[in-house]
Structure 1
Amino acid sequence: MSTPKNDPLLQVETTCGTLLYELQIIWDEVGETDSDRDKMLLELEQECLEVYRRKVDQANRCRAQLRQTIADSEAELAAICSAMGERPVHIRQSDQNSGSLKEELRKILPQLEEMRKRKVERRNQFIEVLEQTQKITNEIYGSTESVSLKTVVDETDLSLRKLEELHRQLHELQKEKSDRLKQVQDHLHMLNSLCSVMGMDFKLTVSEVHPSLGDSDGLRSISNNTIEKLAIAIKKLREVKIQRMQRLQDLATTMLELWNLMDTPIEEQQMFQNVTCNIAASEHEITEPNTLSVDFINYVEAEVSRLEELKSSKMKELVLKKRSELEDICRKTHLVPDSDSAIEDAIEAIESGAVDAATILEQIELQIAKVKEEAFSRKEILEKVEKWLTACDEECWLEEYNRDENRYNAGKGAHLTLKRAEKARSLVNKLPGMVEALASKTLAWEKEREIKFMYDGIRLLSMLEEYTILRQEKEQERRRLRGKR
């Protein structure tokens, strides 16, 4: 039979018997004693026993190692399932007929490798979320303000619940980042508007707040410190804007006054229309680029200085012009202006620098306004005075006409003269009533204003009274002459 021949134990036994037989032949030839032979055989048995013992120990260790490997694998598998919040995927069978240890190890290892792979994938998901959280946290709080948050994953909790919690935290941070980006963008828009109006370098201004703000394509800082600095920069620029706006409005006011004073042509005024149109504008209404730049304000200041110098050179002419205007109004309203020596003294004072020309002009303007106001109140009385004086002229003509002995002689134009005489008599007969009405009106005017009504430097009531006395004297003289006849 071939099977026994192939049995390793039979082969070993045959080999050992053959070797023992060969050994005995050697001993016989050598002449070993029985005691030596027994001794050597004992040594041989002990050596074989030690070999067997080593093999048994090795097999025990291998079995223990297999059991430990299985236990460690089961523990690791249980730990991974626990960390991932899942039920264990392997339950060890206690039945002795469940199979050998190697078979059991072969069953558990694929499950362990699968769970290890899933753990690595889950851990990578945690790392990705934590890294994004760390990145946004650094952007929000800045590298000097952020709490140290290293990308270290808690291996004991890799559950979906924990992952969802981290996702919620990340979503909240992303929303805060979005809100901060909008806030930064709004601040930058305001700064850009302020810089544009005041002719300032926007990129340089924001780069001083934070270098990243000057780069439109890069990642902008959204930290608390950056947002606070942006707000401070906006506040400072608004203060500067208000100061420059007030300066420009003061210059515009001065410019308008000088234009009005010197009757500047409209064509010249239109060159600075963009200045005067903002004379009453509020801070938020001034948005045109470079409206409040240093160069533009200096340009306006130069124009105002030029007008000031022009005003100084034309001041004498302006004073004389306003004086002439005052005299013209006084002449039309029969008021007496100040003496000529007063205006000459004023001009000398202007030329010497002792008196500000603007003060003299202001005084004349006040006099003109006062005269215009008084002229309006005198208008009705002056109209009656003109009618009275016209009637007085007709009265004088009629007296001359009555003294003319040839007045009835027919001649060229005699009929026209006769008609005028008839009209003159009718008008002269109304003179007493006209004088009385004019005097009454004048008295009421003087009582209301508590001043005398002057006409070319003479009180009107005195003129009326003198006329009345003169008329009475003429009437008495006419009666006396008629009595002699």
Structure 2
Amino acid sequence: MATLGEHKLYLKKDKGVVPLKEQLATVSPVLESLKCKKEERIKQFSDIRSQIEKIRFELSEYNDQGADPSSLAAEEHDLSMRKLNSYQTQLRALQKDKSERLRKVLEYINEVHSLCGVLGIDFGSTVHEVHPSLHQNGVEQSRNISNSTLEGLASTIYKLKAERKSRIHKAREIMESLCQLWKLMDSPEEEKRQFSKVMSSLILPEEGITSPGVLSEETIEKMEFEVERLTRLKTSRLKEIVMKRRAELEAICQNAHIEPDVSTAPEQTDALIDSGCSFLHPALLLYSHVFVFVFTSNVILVPIPPGLIDPSELLANIESQILKAKEESLSRKDIMDRINRWIAACDEEAWLEEYNQDPKRYSAGRGAHINLKRAEKARILVRKIPSMVDDLINRTFAWENARNKPFLYDGGRLISVLEEYRLSRHQKEEENRRYRDQKKLESILLAEKEAIFGSRPSPRKTSSLSRKANGYRPNGNTNGLKTPTPRRLSLGSATPELLTPRSYSGHNRYFGDVRRLSTSHLNFGDDSLSTFTSISGSEPESPSIG
């Protein structure tokens, strides 16, 4: 009873004298009950002690259970409920501690597993170094969850994260070089596809990289090998690549009508790549790494030791020039559009002058109405040319003031071309005015002669015949549909006394500095009479189109 913690025994007492055998018979059931109760209590203590010992060795530094916990002998001197409750409280505390530790261990193990997968490291050997029980295929209770195990897992995670960070930095540097080489070599998509998974992972933040094997040593070595292969190939294909980029630069400059940088001209880049001693422009001397002693001309002889020039720098210079050319082209777009409209208007003016020379332009032939409509539109457009030129000059001045440099068109300053065009057009109008005055004077003199000596063949008819013989002829096959071509036309012998003005189209000297701004676009030909016809209005206007 003392062992069970029960200090009172309640027995039924009789008033009379009870024989000893009867008393023994009365006590025996109670004694048997106490024995059963003691055995049950011992079993409870044994179970609780077994669970406590099992949790304790899981929390210990060494996972060596030794004897079976169920075989441990219970303390038989104190089997009270107070002691049992104390063990139960201790067991609940240990179970709670075990649950928290086990949760942490599982979190650490999962993180180690993920990091090992990304880095391509063997997971089993990694956790085995922390504690062998962590990689056993047993129940969860067999894992060691001691403080040293938790510290070991935390330290392993820290090392793996540091390794991941180092490999990410290395892989990104390699991938940057690889992308530059791909762009440089114009590599096909098939070559890039094998690294697409790595590229998509490296653009993510560090914690977001979870693809298995994406940062393995094998993957990084594969990337390094590809960089080495392309680097060797780049040296052999450098000239082709440089020429291709230079052609791209020239195409951009040609469309924008600007001069490309001569520092990367094909003859200089070829010499720079092929030889260690080249004729170089001063802008290329930054690649030579030598001092310059002579600045007497744009092309100088500079010795360059072989292998001292980095071809990538030369290509980077061309790429930089391409970017600058694109920016320059974008800034010139508004003015270039107006230049194109001006040139188109000059083309229409030239066509209109040739069209006005055709005596059959009002005939009822097939397609004549198309040319009539075009002529009406051309007259409207020609009247806008002076305002086009003025607007173009104002915009060009604004562009030059904003950028503090002249606006060059194929090497010549656009303002100079426009100013002389405007001056020559003014001279042309003055000459036309004098020509009309001369025609009026001639008509008056002719009328006076006819009044005195009688009528004679009209110079106007002779001039008309001359035009028919030498002037614009519509195409016979298309019956006037084809755009006329310019022809030389003279006034003939009917009016030898006329003062023939100098045509504006002869003033094309200022286009010497503008190579691709064609003089034919601006109505500069040898035909002077065509100019008079379109400006003076001597020919009748076209009839209205119903």
TM-score, normalised relative to structure 2? 0.61
How far off its partner does 1:302 sit? 1.3
Letter in 2 for 1:374: E
**Conservation of the 8 A alpha-carbon contact between 1:197 and 1:292:** yes
* 1:119–1:250 distance in 2 versus 1, CA, 3 Å: same
Give the 3 Å change call, closer, same or farther, for CA 350–99 of structure 1 in structure 2: same
Q: How does 1:108-147 map to 2 (within 5 A)?
A: 115=34, 118-119=37-38, 121-143=40-62
- 1:326 equivalent among 249, 264, 285: 249
Task: Find the residue that maps to 1:298 and give its secondary structure.
Answer: helix
Alignment of 1:198 with 2:152, yes or no, is: no
Distance 1:97 1:198 in 2: 91
- From the superposition, tell whether residues 453 and 162 of structure 1 become closer, same or farther in structure 2 (CA, over 3 Å): same
SS of 1:278's equivalent in the other structure is helix
2:205 to 282, 285, 289: 282
What's the counterpart of residue 314 of structure 2? 360
Q: How far off is 1:99 after superposition? A: 6.2
What is the letter of the counterpart of residue 377 of structure 1? S
The match for 1:181 among 55, 77, 102 is 102
How far the C-alpha of 1:479 sits from its partner, in A, is 8.0
Matches within 5 A, 1:402-481: 431-471=385-425
Any idea what the Cα deviations from partners look like across 1:311-367, whole Å, max 9, x if unmatched? 332222111111111111212221111237755334433454333222222222222
Shift of 1:449: 2.2
Instruction: Please report how far the alpha carbon of residue 253 of structure 1 lies from its aligned counterpart in structure 2 after TM superposition.
Output: 2.8
Larger Rg: 1
Residues 29-68 of structure 1: matches in 2 within 5 Å? none
| Whole-angstrom CA distance in 1 between matches of 2:358 and 2:24 | 167
- The structure showing larger relative contact order (alpha-carbon pairs under 8 Å, at least 6 residues apart) is 2
CA RMSD of aligned residues (A): 4.3
Q: How does 1:3-402 map to 2 (within 5 A)?
A: 81-89=1-9, 115=34, 118-119=37-38, 121-143=40-62, 155-217=76-138, 219-339=142-262, 342-351=265-274, 352-389=306-343
The verdict on how the C-alpha distance between 1:384 and 1:137 changes in structure 2, with shifts beyond 3 A counting, is closer
Count of residues paired in the alignment: 394
- 2-side partners of 1:262 and 1:448: how far apart? 38
C-alpha change, 1:399 and 1:163, in structure 2 (3 Å) is: closer
Change (3 A) 1:355 1:396: farther
Q: Is the 1:388–1:435 contact (alpha carbons within 8 Å) kept by the matching residues of 2?
A: yes
- The separation in 1 between residues aligned to 2:242 and 2:72, in whole angstroms, is 86
Contact 1:82/1:88, CA 8 A, preserved across alignment: no
For the 8 Å contact 2:171–2:220, the answer to whether it is kept is: yes
CA displacement at 1:151 relative to structure 2:
6.1
Opposite residue 167 of structure 1, the aligned amino acid is: Q
Quote the residue 2:465 is aligned against.
none
Deviates more, 1:271-280 or 1:358-367: 358-367
Supply the distance in 1 between the matched residues of 2:351 and 2:78 (Cα, whole angstroms): 131
Q: Describe the shift of the 1:454–1:177 C-alpha distance in structure 2 as closer, same or farther (beyond 3 A).
A: same
Question: 1:441–1:92: structure 2 CA closer, same or farther, 3 Å change rule?
Answer: closer
**Residue aligning to 1:17:** none
Cα pair distance change 1:425/1:169, threshold 3 Å = closer
Q: Secondary structure at 1:82's aligned position in 2?
A: coil
Partner deviation per Cα, 1:423-444 (whole Å, 9 max, x = no partner): 9888776654443333222222
Seen in structure 2, the aligned counterparts of structure 1 residues 409 and 132 have a Cα distance that, compared at 3 Å, is closer
CA shift, 1:209, in A, is 0.3
Residue aligning to 2:522: none
Q: Matched residues in 2 for 1:408 and 1:177: separation?
A: 109
Separation in structure 1 between the aligned mates of residue 358 and residue 74 of structure 2, nearest angstrom = 141
Q: CA offset at residue 298 of structure 1? A: 0.9
**CA distance in structure 1 between the aligned counterparts of 2:27 and 2:353, rounded to whole angstroms:** 154
The answer to whether the 8 A contact 2:3-2:80 is kept is yes
How far 1:283 moved relative to its partner?
A: 2.7
How far apart, in 1, do the equivalents of 2:103 and 2:225 lie?
42
Deviates more, 1:275-284 or 1:248-257: 248-257
Return the alpha-carbon distance in structure 2 between the equivalents of residues 245 and 345 of structure 1.
Answer: 41
Give the direction of change, closer, same or farther, for the CA distance of 1:173–1:470 in structure 2 (3 Å limit).
same
Distance in 1 (CA, whole Å) between partners of 2:426 and 2:17 is 167
Between structures 1 and 2, the one with greater helix share: 1
Give a deviation string over 1:39-87, Cα, whole Å, max 9, x none.
xxxxxxxxxxxxxxxxxxxxxxxxxxxxxxxxxxxxxxxxxx1331213
- Counterpart amino acid of residue 134 in structure 1: E
Q: Give me the whole-angstrom Cα distance separating, in 1, the residues matched to 2:216 and 2:23.
A: 86
Change (3 A) 1:436 1:300: same
Partner amino acid for 2:50? E
- Do 2:202 and 2:209's aligned partners in 1 also have CA atoms closer than 8 Å? no
Q: Is the 8 A contact 2:342 2:385 kept in 1?
A: yes
How far off is 1:295 after superposition?
Answer: 0.9
Alpha-carbon distance in 1 for matches of 2:158, 2:310: 41
Distance between the aligned counterparts of 1:384 and 1:443, measured in 2? 14
Please state how far the C-alpha of 1:237 moved relative to its aligned partner.
Answer: 0.9
Consecutive unaligned residues in structure 2, runs of 5 or more: 275-305, 442-496, 499-546
- Asked if the contact 2:264–2:318 (Cα under 8 Å) also holds between the matched residues in 1, the reply is no
Q: Residues 477 and 293 (structure 1 numbering): CA distance in 2 closer, same or farther, change over 3 Å?
A: same
Distance across 1 between alignment mates of 2:329 and 2:381: 27
Counterparts of 2:348 and 2:32, CA distance in 1: 139
- Check the 8 A contact 2:242/2:315 in 1, yes or no: yes
Q: Cα deviation per residue 1:223-249 (whole Å; 9 max; x = unaligned)?
A: 111111111111211221222223223
Between 1:323-332 and 1:240-249, the stretch displaced more is 240-249
Q: Is the 8 A contact 1:90 1:108 kept in 2?
A: no
Q: Contact 1:84 / 1:158 at 8 angstroms: preserved in 2? A: yes
